[in-house]
Amino acid sequence: MSAARLLTELLDLVLPDGCAGCAAPGQHWCPRCAADQGPPRLVTRLPGAPPTVAAGTYAGPLRQALLAYKERGRRRLADPLADLLVDAALAHPVLARPAPGRSWLVPAPSRPAASRARGGDHVRTLTEALAERLADGSRRSVGVSPGLRMHAGGRDSVGLDAAARAANLRGRLAPRPEYLPPPGVEVFLVDDVVTTGATLRACAASLAAVGVRVAGAITLCDATGTHCGNRWSANRPTA
Ligand SMILES: [Zn+2]
């Protein structure tokens, strides 16, 4: 971890600067912002992607909280963000069904340079927190399989349309055979934001190539209606 990142995280511990969503003093994620998220929703504009449920929209307090967690080192937000992911997981039409045996969560991998800059893989941390919460009270037995990796190269996908995102990912996602879940189990992808579905499609295809079938996906934020929370996406529903 870089010295700057360590300093940021230490400051987050001793000098929390209020709610990450609305800046109200006293808490990392205030009850009002938590209550404002509304129910999770099935993301419908993702042709070719696995059935996906998002905890909320990539806008307002949730977007602010994710950016604070992901880009500004406020790692304590992993707890409330994982709580939101639990709500999404329990609303998923496949994951919420009773199933024999254990299911597996595969975090969508980040670019290596991005993970280094952030002091770790933020989606994997959220996925592990989600699995712990689902296991509490035996709501669902799930394991975490960091079964995908992203090779170096490419660029940040912010601002890219669906075709450019797919091209940016082509050839850079690879399975990690030593971490793949057992054959025949239900597997769910976990990601922080879904925008065009390109990442989910590429992750599912990469796993399918080694015989692992993805049954669904859970994301924190649905950005299919917007890019960056403030301008409309260029992607159009396909016929
Ligand atoms: Zn708040």
Would you kindly state where each structural domain of the chain is located, as residue ranges? 36-232
> In the predicted model, is pLDDT for residue 140 greater than 60?
yes
How far away, in angstroms, is 32 Cα from ligand 1 center? Answer: 6
Q: How far apart are CA 60 and CA 13, in angstroms?
A: 24
The average pLDDT across 168-194 equals 91
How far away, in angstroms, is 66 Cα from ligand 1 center? Answer: 13
pLDDT in tens, 16-39: 579 999 999 988 999 999 888 889
How far away, in angstroms, is 37 Cα from ligand 1 center? Answer: 11
Q: Does domain 36-232 have CATH number 1.20.1630?
A: no
pLDDT at 192: 96
How far away, in angstroms, is 29 Cα from ligand 1 center? Answer: 5
- pTM of the entire predicted model: 0.85
pLDDT at 160: 76
SS3 per-residue string spanning 163-212? HHHHHHHCCCEEECHHHCCCCCCCEEEEEEEECCCHHHHHHHHHHHCCCC
Residues flanking ion ligand 1, Cβ below 5 Å: 19, 21-22, 24, 30, 33
Greater model confidence, 71 or 162: 71
Residue 101 and residue 39 in contact, taking contact as beta carbons nearer than 8 Å: no
Q: Looking at mean pLDDT, say which of 97-111, 191-205, 220-234 comes out highest.
A: 191-205
- Closest to 50 (Cα-Cα) out of 130, 106, 122: 106
3-state secondary structure of 61: helix
